Every structure is written in structure tokens, then in C-alpha cells.
Amino acid sequence: MLTAKQHDLLCFIDARLRATGISPSFEEMKEALDLKSKSGVHRLISALEERNFIRRLPNRARALEVMRMPDRDGATAAAPRPAPAIVAPPRPANENVIEVPLHGRIAAGAPIEALEGQSALPVPAALLGPGEHYALEVSGDSMVEAGILDGDYALIRRTESAREGEIVVALIDDSEATLKYFRREGQMVRLDPANRSYDPQRYRPDQVRVQGKLAGLLRRYH
């Protein structure tokens, strides 16, 4: 049996790998589990590694692979390996689910209006760290190389600040929103796509307000 923190960390790592194909950083794991220091993350990682739930990939920074997942009865099963950028696993029947507001569509292309909505999207609690979250349906293909596809649901943690290289919801001129990598270029803000067919967008800092940063991704299959 895993401890609650070990289980939560394993689910968080697995969900991030399925969403982006990249392991979360130790800082992101610390924030997601609301731990006081990274040493706690190191202990949890070591415990999961010793029990063969995860393994570290050699010669690669931040490289973890999930080997198996616990089933709902506490036993373990081999973790299915998804195609790159495929989203979070089907949730177990006993997993906590949080209803997050679904606020219409957001562009992953040219900016479009972000519509406020009254509907909600059920999300496995393990996908969300601390803080307030909302969801947006992605429209467009400018973030496909980051594994974000048209029709996906972006899970956004509310914040008004972002670090260099984070994927954010950027509100432009208080009217249009887009999902892009956030970067600074001299005195300008540059919003970068993840599709070589699109050009970066440059704005004055007073034109751009960060509305949140990407926390996860959901994809529905019909």
C-alpha cells in the first residue's frame, strides 16, 4: 500500500507525463503536494523508486518513468504507456473529483475572445495542485508541439504572474485571450506558439495581463 502522499505524487507525475510527455520539476511537485521543502519530494520519489512504481531515466534531467499504478483495491498493475502528449488516465472509481468552472473557449492560434460560462468540468483531484482553477476549451492548433490539441480542455491555475517559459492564459488589451508560452524580449512581452507554422506575438507589457498558467490537460474521445 502507498501512503496518501506517495499516491498523490505518483498520480501527479503520471498525469503530467500523459499531458506533456515531460516529468514535472521538483518545485512543481512540491507545490502540487503542498510540501514545505523539496527534500520531502526527494523522499517520496526515493520511496516510489524503491518499490518499482517509477524509475529515473539515466543521463536525462527531470526524467521519470511510471512503471505501474496502484489499482483501486491497493494492488498494482502495469501502467499503460500512452502516446506522447496523451492526457490524464481514466480515473479510478474511488478518486476524488472536483468540479471546476468551464469558461468557454480560448485560442491556440490568433487570439479570440475568452467567453465566461456557467458550466463545469469534472476533474480528478490528483491533477490539480493548490489554488483556484478553471478550465477552457482549446480552439486552434498553434500549441500542438506542446501536446495541446484543438478541442482539449486546458486546466488553468489562477495567477497574475508567470515565469519565463511557462504556458499561460494571456489577456490582450482586456478583450482577447490566448494560450501561449510567456517570454520577455527587451521591453516587450512575447507570446510564443508551439507550432512552427505560427509566428510569435509581441505586445507592450501594458497590453498583456496573465490570467493563469497551465496546470493540466484533459482530452475526451468520442
| Active site members | 142, 180
Residue whose C-alpha is closest to residue 14's, from 107, 113, 80, 94: 80
Secondary structure of residue 37 in the 3-state scheme:
coil
DSSP string of 126-181?
A: GG--SS-EEEEEEESSTTGGGT--TT-EEEEE--S---TT-EEEEEETTTEEEEEE
Query: DSSP secondary-structure letter at 25?
Result: P
Task: Find out whether 221 and 181 touch, Cβ atoms under 8 Å.
Answer: no
